[in-house]
Structure 1
Amino acid sequence: MLKLLLLLLLFWTSSALVRVPLRRVPSIRSQLRAVGLLEEFLKDHRPDAYNRRYAQCFPSGTPSLRLGRSSEKIYNFMDTQYFGDISLGTPEQNFSVIFDTGSADLWVPSSYCVSTACVQHRRFKAFDSTSYRHDGRTFGIHYGTGHLLGVMARDTMKIGSLIAVNQEFGEAVYEPGNIFVLGKFDGVLGMAYPSLAEILGNPVFDNLLAQKALDKPVFSFYLSRTTRTTSPEGELLLGGIDEALYSGPINWLPVTAKGYWQIKMDSVAVQGVSSFCPQGCQAVVDTGTSLIAGPTNDILNLQQLIGATPTNFGEFLIDCVRLSSLPHVTFVLGGTEYTLTAEQYVRKEMLGDRELCFSGFEGMDIVSPAGPLWILGDVFLTEYYSVFDRGQDCVGLARAKHPAEE
């Protein structure tokens, strides 16, 4: 009888967790660099020039076009590498999306989209879905390199084995710019708090909770270091935590503002010396940002401390030969130190037969009521398993267990 109870408990526990495999691919920046088109692309996609070129294409009063709106967003799809799959409609229509804890909207390309970007990706065909419901509202999202425009809809959404009925999402009908042409993903699935959504309504995770599809209001991310097929490239776990993917205790940090997954950071130290935000500052744990970002002046100083030199492309190069002698960078969160070595905060790329090493830090000035924000993106999250708990409104971090460490 005891064995039967244990088996039933094991089955119930495992069925409550849904694993969503994540794939890792070369970023758009890497693809452009490899074919010698990065400089030309960056010239054409400066935010100021891009806004002047396309602003007239959008209806007047589009919320995302308001002055200063872009300062509230932290999208950077040019460096994004991880994405997974969902489906929409009945029968199912499959899409690859970025699971982004730095936003709260779900959108995919529409079959009515007129942009080149949409032609290169899978598009949602509303007329093929028997469960589709027209919404009628329009939406616009302001990205750093342009605006996305679309209409809202409702339909059945499936992620792993979970089903969310009547899920609100955006059908993108206008995606100007090559960011979306070159991206390997079709759309974006935001996993931040509802207050961050462009259109009021239930984001995907909130809808899953409202429909009691999960036993626990928790999801967690594991991001791999490599693209080797012998190890998982990444995983989103809905409904809990996978103890096999991290080592040591989880350090829990309360959310300080319910928009982004925002937490308090005690300080940032370079080689043990507290160099930045010594009185504490705010940080965002963001799977949709590939690098670690901070206030521009602080990041420029940090680049100097790690021996990084600027390029014409807004990146910072590091001599690959010197990596073993470069200082460690430590983020102190909740009294716990999270240290990155140079091997961990440097991004390596091959250009022909030459290896290039780029700093994993970037300047980004995000204005918030609590002051400038630091963004702990994938460079940080590759090293630390992350848990997002909506029940307790906190973020958990533990050292990720990569295959080489086992």
Structure 2
Amino acid sequence: MTSSSSSTQVKALAWLTLLGLVAGACAALHRIPVRRSGKYVRTQQSLIAEREHVWRKYNLLQSNVSSNTTTAGNYTVETLSNVLNLQYFGKISIGTPPQYFLVQFDTGSSNLWIPSVNCISVDCYYHTKYSSAASTTYQANGSAFSITYGSGSVAGTLSTDVVTVAGLKIVAQTFGEATTETGTGMQGASFDGIFGMAYSSLAVDGVQPPFYNLWSQKLVDAPVFSFYLANNGTSEVSYGGELILGGSDASLYAGKLVYAPVSSQTYWQFQMDAVTLGGTTLCTYCQAVADTGTSLLIAPYAIYEKILTMLNQRVNCSDIAALPTLIFTISGVPFQIPPSAYIVSSDGSCTLGIQYLQGADFWILGDIFIGRYYTEFDLGNNRLGFASTNSGSVLGADIWKICCLVALLGLWKLFNLQN
């Protein structure tokens, strides 16, 4: 064998190895298409409704308040939809053959539930419903489940079936099959159900949350997931970002992630160093919850009152640029929320996008925060990571195209080496 032919074989072997790695990455791409939905106009009334939804969710609704796929590297990515920066949701399937549902990926709860074909509540009427009789992989559980949201509730039976998210099949996932939904406000939601991603200790009836099973069944490489939420908000519904299962995509954020340890393994709760508004300290060593199922920023009531006083109670659209910046300091690093983000404009009027909690002493950082800062939820190390998003990045969305291009170039190079 000549030196030249030996060198050619070594090069060919190297390219084959590279192609194998690329093919593995490409084969793991699981882009889930998103459904498009109608336009949502934010008003003062809708902000109050959103606040009441949060009160229900955290069981803080007062009795006197009425209620009217792809992958990045080896990381599986779920495409999301963003309805005017309000609701983020993606598609999953349950059963065999698959029955498809739009679910809100919610780090503020832990259960997966969807409407049952047996649900006759108004809240179920306009949504896709699960039929156990139509699935060959359905397993009866029979236990009753009930999730209370203040004055609202979801109830039904627990069922077990195959749940597929981003092309990953979770075997024997137990979920809530809702037969009644009352006072939840779900009849107007763009999604059918909830895909809870908080800690298992928060799960109703001791059900193992889906992400725990993704990890235990070795469907993801690490017990980590992350959110990139795109605040584009110009069209009725658009590409809303990505939920990445198994890690984080560094192409979607700038610099390094700043980590904070989880302080309570229920919600994704952590301690901030301080919160300031225009140089005035609102709180120090304050607790916060990172919640993708909440669109607003929620503050303890006393702090909310202080913010209103500082902003003179009213928000004038012409004065937004002159308003102070809200800063959350986490692990020594300031994370800024400019007034253009915490002020919501709609139909020529402007409203404060911060609401309040009574009876609670923690902040809730919803999509106003997570939409600006890439957020990693590290279940293995019990920590959260934050970094500024690369809002103009398309790498995460188009990585499958890049993989295919690299593979084609590799094949072309290999062909030339052999000839």
Shorter-chain-normalised TM-score: which range?
0.7 to 0.9
Residues 79-112 of structure 1, C-alpha deviations (whole Å, 9 max, x = no match): 9511111111111111111100010000000011
CA contact (8 A) 1:217 1:391 kept: yes
| Residue in 1 that maps onto 2:226 | 220
Does the alignment pair 1:306 with 2:306? no
Write out aligned runs for 1:94-173 (5 A). 94-173=100-179
**CA distance 1:141–1:27, shift in 2 (3 Å):** farther
Alpha-carbon distance between aligned partners in 2 of 1:163 and 1:222, rounded to the nearest angstrom: 23
Larger deviation: 213-222 or 173-182? 173-182
Distance 2:257 2:346 in 1: 32
Conserved? CA contact 1:51–1:146, under 8 Å: no
TM-score of the superposed pair, with normalisation by structure 1: 0.80
Which of 202, 226, 246 matches 1:196?
Answer: 202
Equivalence for 2:241: 234
* CA–CA distance in structure 1, aligned partners of residues 337 and 39 of structure 2: 22
1:18–1:47 Cα change, 3 Å: farther
Contact 1:96 1:185 in 2 (8 A): yes
Q: 1:283 to 1:48 in 2, by over 3 A?
A: same
1: CA distance, partners of 2:301 / 2:384: 25
TM-score, with normalisation over the residues of structure 2?
Answer: 0.78
**In the comparison of the two structures, how many residue pairs are matched?**
357
Contact 1:80 1:290 in 2 (8 A): yes
1:326 aligns with 2:326: no
User: Is the partner of 1:240 in helix, strand or coil?
Assistant: coil
Instruction: In structure 1, give the amino acid aligned to 2:257.
Output: I
Distance 2:335 2:33 in 1: 26
| 1:307 positional shift | 3.9
Quick one: structure 1 residues 330 and 101, their matched pair in 2 at CA, closer, same or farther if it must change by over 3 Å? Answer: same
- Alpha-carbon offset, residue 49 of structure 1: 6.4
Alignment match, 2:382: 393
Alpha-carbon distance in structure 1 between the residues aligned to 2:65 and 2:112: 24
Of 83, 95, 98 in structure 2, the residue corresponding to residue 92 of structure 1 is: 98
String of CA shifts for 1:254-277, please: whole Å, max 9, x gaps. 11111111111111011123x222
Query: What is the one-letter code of the residue matched to 1:281?
Result: C
SS in 2 for 1:247: coil
Q: Secondary structure at the match of 2:305?
A: helix
Aligned AA for 2:367? D
- Give the direction of change, closer, same or farther, for the CA distance of 1:50–1:293 in structure 2 (3 Å limit): closer
Gaps of 5+ in 1: 54-78, 310-317
Do residues 258 (structure 1) and 265 (structure 2) align? yes
Question: Match of 2:206, SS?
Answer: coil
Shift of the 101–345 alpha-carbon distance from structure 1 to 2, 3 Å rule, reads same
Say if 2:149 and 2:184, in contact at 8 Å, map to a contact too: no
Q: CA deviation at 1:27?
A: 8.3
Distance 2:131 2:44 in 1: 31
Do the aligned partners of residues 227 and 145 (structure 1) sit closer, same or farther apart at CA in structure 2, a change above 3 Å counting? Answer: farther
1:403 positional shift: 2.6
Tell me what 1:58 maps to: none
* Residues 183/82 of structure 1: CA separation in 2 closer, same or farther (3 Å cut): same
User: Any conservation in 1 of the 2:91–2:165 contact (CA below 8 Å)?
Assistant: yes
Q: Specify the alignment match of 1:375 in structure 2.
A: 364
Deviations 1:283-326 (A, max 9, x none): 111101111112111111112223443xxxxxxxx211100100
Using the alignment, how far apart are the partners of 1:297 and 1:265 within structure 2? 17
Q: CA deviation at 1:401?
A: 1.6
Q: What is the CA–CA distance in structure 2 between the aligned matches of 1:358 and 1:335, rounded to whole Å?
A: 30
Paired AA for residue 198 in structure 1: V
Cα deviation for residue 231 of structure 1 reads: 7.0
Aligned-partner residue type, residue 360 of structure 1: G
Write the letter of the residue equivalent to 1:359: L
In the TM superposition, what whole-angstrom CA distance separates every residue of 1:42-75 from its partner, at most 9, and x where no partner exists? 9xx985268999xxxxxxxxxxxxxxxxxxxxxx
Flag the structure with larger Rg: 2
1:223 Cα deviation after fit: 1.0
Q: Which residue of 2 aligns with 1:356?
A: 349
Structure 1 residues 258 and 10: alpha-carbon distance in aligned structure 2, compared to 1, 3 A threshold: farther
Which blocks of at least 5 consecutive residues in structure 2 are unaligned? 1-12, 69-84, 396-419
Matched with 1:48 is: 63
Q: CA deviation at 1:126?
A: 0.8
Relative to 1, partners in 2 of residues 1:157 and 1:405: Cα closer, same or farther, differing over 3 Å? closer
Tell me, what secondary structure is at the counterpart of 2:42?
helix
Contact preservation (8 Å) 2:41, 2:346: no
> Aligned residue for 1:365?
358
Decide whether aligned partners of structure 1 residues 123 and 49 sit closer, same or farther in structure 2, where only a CA change above 3 A counts. Answer: farther
For 1:32 and 1:6, locate their aligned partners in 2 and report how far apart those are by CA, in whole Å.
56
Equivalents in 2 of 1:324, 1:23: separation in Å? 35
- 1:8 maps to which residue? 20
Aligned to 1:174: 180
Instruction: Report the Cα distance in structure 2 between the residues aligned to 1:405 and 1:185, rounded to whole angstroms.
Output: 25
Question: 2:202 & 2:282 partners in 1: Cα distance?
Answer: 27
Match of 1:75 in 2: none
Alignment RMSD: 3.1
Q: How far has the Cα of 1:245 moved from its partner?
A: 1.5
